Amino acid sequence: MQKLLLTAAVALIFLSNAAGQTNKSELQKQRQQLKKEIEETESILNQTKKTAKENLGQLSLINRRLDLQGNVIENITGELKFIETDIYSSQREVNKLSRILDTLKQEYAQSMVYAYKNRNSYDFLSFIFSSSSFNDAIKRVTYLKSYRTYREQQGENIARTQQLLQKRIDELSGNKKKKSNALQEKNNEVNMLEKQQVEKENLLVKLKGRQKELSAQINNKRRQDAKVRGMISEMIKKEIALARRKAEYERKEREKEAYLEAAKNKANAPVTKPGNTV
């Protein structure tokens, strides 16, 4: 009966030890897997940080480009102001010449009416022959010719001047339209760049959120690793304590067996009676 109990106790100790070894092995495998996952997550996190830095650099360049585009727009706006000033001055000049031209046209019309009324050669000759002297007649002829030539030249000069000024105004108006189109184009480009900047900022927010998520995963896995290490340490302590109990149990059993063996030998030893000597 005692031997049966001894065998059962030893078997229980071995089973407990074997179960502990199995659990510890599983925990060690689990810990190795956690360490691997931590390393992989840290690698992804580092790559994410690198990407975030690259996007920050791109964002800085975009901001710089936005500043430059703003300077270009300010420059164009300044040019537009000068162009508008030139247009205003030219328009005033045209208006002034137009008034002069209107006056000259009225005078020219009056002279045309006068010429129409005196259109026949008789009236022309009458105007000349009504002169008080030959010199006066020559002066009248010269006057009529110079007057007609003067009117023609004035009309041509005024028309040419008006045409040149109108051409200049058209050119300035065209330039103003071009500058306005360019300004609109720059504004559109700035809007596009601002949209890109918003997209980049959203990307950075996303990347930072990803970093937080990965950092949280790493911290969680490290906590799990610490927990597993604690469990392994606790199991090792239990194994040591179990081994000590086993060794102590076996020592006592050996002492007990030695004691029983000694008692048995003593009981079986022959007894020597007094007086039985040869």
Interval 128-166: pLDDT, tens: 667 667 677 677 677 777 767 876 776 787 777 778 777
How high is the pLDDT of residue 262?
Answer: 79
Is the domain 2-249 a CATH 1.10.10 member?
Answer: no
Do 79 and 179 form a contact (C-beta atoms < 8 A)? yes
pTM above 0.85, yes or no: no
Q: Could you state, in order of their start, the residue ranges of all structural domains in the chain?
A: 2-249
How high is the pLDDT of residue 237?
Answer: 80
Mean pLDDT by 10 residues, the chain (278 residues): 49 50 67 72 69 67 72 74 76 75 73 65 59 71 74 74 77 77 75 74 70 75 77 77 83 83 74 52
How high is the pLDDT of residue 265?
Answer: 76
How high is the pLDDT of residue 225?
Answer: 75
How high is the pLDDT of residue 278?
Answer: 42
